[in-house]
Chain A
Amino acid sequence: MRSLSLILIPVAILMASATILYPNFAKRTLQLAIKPGVYELAAGEQTKLWKEFLEKWKKDYNLSGEWTISPDEELPEASVGFIEIQGRYITAAKINQISQENPELILEPKNRLIPTWIEEKLRGGKSLAIKLGLDLQGGMRVVLKGDFEDYQSKLRDIYAKELRELETQILNPITSPEEKKKLQDRKSEIESNFELTPIRKMAELEKAKMIIDNRLTGQNLTEPQVRIQKEQDAIEVSLPGVSNSSAILEILQNTETVEYRLEEPSPFAYRSRIEDSERSLMNQGRRDDTDIVKFQNLIKAKMGKKAQNQFINDLENKYKIPPEYKLYAVWGRGTGPKSQLLPRSFTVLERKIALSGNDMTNAQPNFNSNSYGWIVSFTLTPAGADKFFELTSANRGRNLSIIWGEKVISSPVINDPIAGGRAEISGSFSQEEAIRLANVISEGALPIPLNVLEMRFIGPTLGIESIEVGIRAVIIGFLFVMVYMLVYYRLGGMIADFSLVANILILAALLSLMDFTLTLPGFAGIILTVGMAVDANVIIYERIREELEDGRAIGLAVTNGFQNAFYTILDANITTLIAGVLMIRLGNGPIKGFAITLCWGIITTLFTSLFLSRLFVELLVNRFGLKSLKLKPFFLLEKKHA
């Protein structure tokens, strides 16, 4: 006998699902930030920009006329600084479109979609609405051009020392002719590295493409499209609507690397030069004139990479650092709880890279409970492990610095040679920094710097017409399936229909909780889920009907029917689930998108068909004393059953 109170479980789950889905249908408010620069323009310019925007608003953005905009006549006051838009179904792609088509007016990073109360409570304001993929809602397309000049100059940097040594040796009269030839060969080999043939460029672009792919997957953006544009040496990245495209761009263009460099040998002649000069300034009470404070101020003012590099270059000249060494800043946090990560002192390292990021893989952020700090542990590749062992045995007692994106984060002393391929980096990281560092090590650095060539909004890649028609078709098809079940299994069909709707509701809620981006393959996974859910119900009712036809009493028929169907449904779903999990682990892009919806769909299907449907049928039969269950359409009923 089933207890009536069991019904509270599905009711609670359904209510939770509906609440989670609420932001999709709710009326939302969007604030589009106005660029501060706009208010500094002449009055005529301002009105012109604003009038153009309003024109586009009426013609392109607000087609249905269901959204409201305020203010709708004059440019908003400078003290307000934003335009407010209200309406339903405001998508991330729409926000991208408006921002990217009005770059002179709108400051994209400051746009804000006001969170609904449920998002505020559950997620601290992060969006809960279901995101649609590039194929279904469109998004933005960025073309990133590889900067091969910068790439070349970096390469020269790496080989600078070796080349110089080779040259001096070649010019040296003591060197024998055979030796000279060997050296000459080595020299031309290095120089051939600087030559960028189209094939080389292609290979580097391919590498960059792979890294970008990985980075985007790490950002939970399902199925971005990344292609290489041969003619322009560029990589084209198409992304589904993202709420903040500048943040994504920063991630894409990030060229940070992780590498090890040896510190200058004791007694640190160059470093002490700097330290002496800084100390004497401090003693004179001129703290603001020390180079480190100047450098800190430069960082705080967010002057950008170029200014920082210039500053370091000037310092190298000032302290006369020889070319085989390079000046770096050691970054760290102060003692305060919210102290910023800033340069704290200067150090001088060998220009030659001792161990590069390519020698490390598989990094993971860990929390070290001894030191109460985050560390990053990683594995060395076999070649890297050999190099590391050689390096640590040859340089005992010296300091080995770890540099992450031009920042020295720690400089431990080499006590003993380190063999075995695992190592860890500790420093004063926050959790996010540890995760980022681990990602940089695992994914590798971009081989070439990338510049934005073009950025524009694109419509859905499946075509607008098809999506409109397709969505309507799927809904109509779904309704047909429900009617079919209703006609065929009558009361049973009604329960099946109800559990089907519940299934989709719960699945949608789960997907939006997971920040899943729905694409056509994902949608296909849902279609398969619906098919399998219908199948589960069909199997159950066919079994119950067989039991009834064998003359069993209704209560027993229902119990037997569910029992017989149980293992069939479980077997079918579990096998598909295993295949789905395999697809998630092995596949990428479209395969993964499909498999994620399928796997969660199987879980919700098992719940709704084996628990929910059963609960309803058993309650109807046992609690409410349902006498007969007609599980055949009227036109197939035989006389004796009718």
Chain B
Amino acid sequence: MPRFPYTKYKAFTLSFSLFLILAGYVKTFAVHGGFANSLDFNGGLRLVIELPIGKGRPEIETFFLENKIEAVTLLLEKQKNIYQVDIGLGSIPKIEELFNSKSPGDKGASTIDRLVTLVVQQFQIPREKVLSADQVGAVVGGELTETGITLLISTLLIILGYLSYRSAFKFALASAIALVHDILFTLAMIGFFQIKPSVPIIAALLTLLGYSINDKIVVFDRIRENAHGKDNLSLSNIINISISQTLGRTINTSITTLISIIAIVIGGAIELYDFAYVLIFGVVVGTYSSIFIAAPIALIYDDWRRKSA
């Protein structure tokens, strides 16, 4: 059996992760000023328009892109060519700017009216084809962040408790830290690439959480089993053996999980791309962290306990 010394490079893998996570947040907050705005979380302007046959998504997207207005376009009804356009609150100054450049001196109307005027001019549609236009509030409010943090902490506590009971505290601790690593890493990536947080993204994060828990337990169960009654072998040796033994399973499981998600991207479901990207990233990180984050941490903790004892 090939025995690769997985834990030998622990200093490198741990600092590598730490560096990438920090870099992610630095870029998120220093360059972008935080996570991307999205209609689901922050609210914004929403237009529903019926376009004449022949015009569609490309025309809408080019128009908003040219004017640097961030908009998300969605086809609502194919037969009638009805589109929904969501615009974040951050783009309001751009809309005002564009409106003022096209019809200077015109004041009084609200941003929404101005947006409607702009769209009506651009696509040359009668005003009643703008089926609705309004400022809408967030669907998921601030309570979600709170719930999310409560959820994460309680999940971690339970994993700590359950795994300490089933195997050993060092493995439980390592799994929990690796889990935090996965979530932080994925959030850093969401901020780095300014992926718009939305309900599907929440679903992807939850899936990643479940996948990651599963992966860590499978690996640590093997370590526990191998460590049982073998006090003469060093923990690093046992860990390396166990990772080798579960490697076949790790590869097969991650490949099969990735297949269905990658199919979404290849298939071209544009509106699900963010969902798929986060999931793919999460599965890779979740698998990586079981081997290169959780195992080394268990080892480091074990060494520390031995030294201080």
Give A residues with C-beta under 8 Å from B: 59-60, 63, 135, 138, 223, 225-232, 236, 454, 456, 458-467, 469-470, 472-474, 476-478, 480-481, 484-485, 488, 520-521, 523-525, 527-528, 530-532, 534-535, 538-539, 542, 546, 564, 567-568, 571-576, 578-580, 582-583, 586-591, 594-595, 598
Dominant secondary structure at the B interface = helix
Closest CB of chain A to B215's CB: distance in Å?
A: 8
Q: Could you say which of A135, A481, A524, A576 contacts B256, with CB atoms under 8 Å apart?
A: A481
**B residues contacting the other copy or chain, number (CB 8 A):** 72
- Is the CB–CB distance between B260 and A539 below 8 Å? no
Q: Could you say which of A135, A464, A567, A583 contacts B221, with CB atoms under 8 Å apart?
A: A567
With A521-B202, A528-B207, A587-B151 known as contacts, the answer to whether A473 contacts B269 (CB < 8 A) is: yes
Residues of chain B with a CB closer than 8 A to A595's CB: 206
- Is the CB–CB distance between A477 and B261 below 8 Å? yes
- Is the CB–CB distance between B136 and A228 below 8 Å? yes
Let me know if B78 is at the binding interface, CB within 8 A. Answer: yes
- Is the CB–CB distance between B253 and A535 below 8 Å? yes
With A520-B203, A534-B256 known as contacts, the answer to whether A586 contacts B147 (CB < 8 A) is: yes
Let me know if B238 is at the binding interface, CB within 8 A. Answer: no
Residues of chain A with a CB closer than 8 A to B3's CB: none
Let me know if B124 is at the binding interface, CB within 8 A. Answer: no
B225, B256, B261: which has the most chain A beta carbons within 10 Å? B256
Q: Could you say which of B131, B135, B263 contacts A476, with CB atoms under 8 Å apart?
A: B263
With A520-B203, A576-B210 known as contacts, the answer to whether A463 contacts B135 (CB < 8 A) is: no
Closest CB of chain A to B176's CB: distance in Å?
A: 11
Q: Mark B188-201, 1 if CB is under 8 A from A, else 0.
A: 00000000000110
Residues of chain A with a CB closer than 8 A to B140's CB: 589-590
- Is the CB–CB distance between B270 and A542 below 8 Å? no
The 3 closest A-B pairs by CB, nearest first: A477-B260, A473-B267, A477-B263
- Is the CB–CB distance between A594 and B262 below 8 Å? no
B84, B112, B248: which has the most chain A beta carbons within 10 Å? B248
Q: Could you say which of B154, B211, B255 contacts A528, with CB atoms under 8 Å apart?
A: B211
Residues of chain A with a CB closer than 8 A to B211's CB: 528, 531-532
Q: Could you say which of B76, B150, B245, B270 contacts A458, with CB atoms under 8 Å apart?
A: B76
Known: A477-B261, A582-B158. 7 other contacts (CB 8 A): A135-B199, A232-B134, A477-B260, A520-B203, A524-B203, A580-B210, A594-B203
With A469-B267, A480-B263, A535-B249 known as contacts, the answer to whether A521 contacts B151 (CB < 8 A) is: no
Closest CB of chain B to A100's CB: distance in Å?
A: 13
Let me know if B184 is at the binding interface, CB within 8 A. Answer: no
- Is the CB–CB distance between B78 and A464 below 8 Å? yes
Let me know if B77 is at the binding interface, CB within 8 A. Answer: yes
Let me know if B222 is at the binding interface, CB within 8 A. Answer: yes
11 examples of A-B residue contacts, CB within 8 angstroms: A59-B79, A230-B134, A231-B110, A232-B134, A463-B270, A473-B269, A485-B256, A539-B218, A542-B252, A574-B162, A582-B158
- Is the CB–CB distance between B245 and A546 below 8 Å? yes
Residues of chain B with a CB closer than 8 A to A470's CB: 264, 267, 269, 272
- Is the CB–CB distance between A572 and B218 below 8 Å? yes
- Is the CB–CB distance between A469 and B138 below 8 Å? no
CA distance A472 to B199 in the complex (A): 21
- Is the CB–CB distance between A572 and B217 below 8 Å? yes
CA distance A520 to B207 in the complex (A): 12
With A528-B211, A576-B210, A591-B206 known as contacts, the answer to whether A469 contacts B268 (CB < 8 A) is: yes
